[in-house]
Structures are given as structure tokens and as C-alpha cells.
Amino acid sequence: MAKRLMTGLALGMLLLGTDAAQAHKVIASVFPSGQNIEGEIGFSNGVMANNTLVEVFDPEGNKIDEITTDADGFFVYTPSQKVDLRFRADLGAGHIAEATFAISDFAPEKPAAQEASGQTSIPSVGAGGMITPAITPEQEQIIAAIVRDEIRPLRREIMAYKEKNDLQSILGGIGYIFGAFGIIYYIAARRLRAKA
């Protein structure tokens, strides 16, 4: 009986050890940002990989370029080739962040005639029903940059929320395991007392 108890305790300690490993889960995400690729690298506990070297590879594994994250763990990369990309960063202590980007994720480019005019194809209607010029490409870029800056904290909160729920699931599973072991040991102890 004591040997079984020790086995159960050892299994419990092993499960608790896996929980500690989950506390430093690496996060890496990339997404289109106009004609650039914006990315974020860090840990699920909110510590971001600031000033970290990020290597860029093509689908065959050839290194194309390298960039460095900013103080918040973000980077912006302008692709030089129209191929799928893989971003890789070594965060130390065996933590490797990797993310892939499919070139098909970019929005289709505007026609050349539309860009030359400096306006989008849909004019806006102002006060009094007067048609006003549409947003220029420069204004569009400024608005997109503002929206990206506002969305960054939301992305981080969503990732932290996902990690918290994953951690809760893990802790709940560990609780069920300990409960099951408790029930098994209780039944085994009752049977031993009944035989004695």
C-alpha cells in the first residue's frame, strides 16, 4: 500500500512539473499589415521578447533575412520575395518561437490606375449630399497604423485569456486525477479492512 501511495505521489509531482513548464509557453504570431508583415513574439505570461533577433526563412529553409523586435516584442517585415515565410527566434533556455506566414494572406493589390489617381474607387458623400474626394492612400496608411496600434493590446489580452483558460483546464484535470486516486485508495483501503 505504501508503495502505491509513493507511486501516486510521484505521478502527482510529475503532473505538477508539467504545469510549471506550461507557465512559460512561447507565443509567436504574424499577420498582414498592408504590404508588410507584422509579428509579435514573447511568452504567454506577458513577458515579450524585446530586442530579439528574428530570422526569416523561405519554404525550403533558406535564410532570407533577419530583423529585430522592438521593446514590446513586435516587428514589421517587408517581404522581398512573394513566397511563404517562416519566422524563427531563439528566446534562450531552449525556447524557440516559430510562426509561418502564407503569402496568400495579403490583400489583393489595388489596380495601378487607381493608385496613380491617389484616390480609392468609392467617393464619400459629405454633408448636404455633396460628393467629397475619397481617402488618399497616405490617409489610408495612417488610419491602418492607428488601428494596428489600438489592436495590439487586444491581441495580447486575447492570448493571455486563452493561456489562462488552458491553465485552468490543466489544473482542473490534475484535480480530477487526484480525486480519482483518492477514490481508488479509499476503495482499496476499505477492501483491506474488510479482509482483516
pLDDT score, position 20:
43
What is the per-residue pLDDT across 129-143, written as a single tens digit (0 to 9) for each? 666 667 788 888 788
Give the mean pLDDT of 99-126.
61
Strand order across the 36-43 sheet: 26-33, 36-43, 74-77
Q: Which structural domains are found in the chain, ordered by start? A: 2-109+136-195 (2.60.40.10)
pLDDT at 126 over 90: no
- Spatial separation of the C-alpha atoms in residues 65 and 67, rounded to whole Å: 7
What is the per-residue pLDDT across 47-62, written as a single tens digit (0 to 9) for each? 888 899 999 999 999 9
pLDDT score, position 56:
94
pLDDT at 13 over 70: no
pLDDT at 65 over 50: yes
pLDDT score, position 85:
93
Q: Which range has the worst mean pLDDT, 14-18, 36-40, 106-110, 177-181?
A: 14-18
List, as one string, the DSSP characters of 136-165.
Answer: -HHHHHHHHHHHHHHHHHHHHHHHHHHHHH
- Spatial separation of the C-alpha atoms in residues 10 and 107, rounded to whole Å: 53
- Spatial separation of the C-alpha atoms in residues 88 and 113, rounded to whole Å: 38
- Name the nearest CA neighbour of 12 among 181, 169, 166, 167: 181
Residue 64 banded pLDDT, cuts 50, 70, 90: very high
pLDDT score, position 193:
86
pLDDT at 102 over 60: yes
Give the mean pLDDT of 5-31.
59
Q: Are 1 and 190 in contact (CB under 8 A)?
A: no
pLDDT at 124 over 60: no
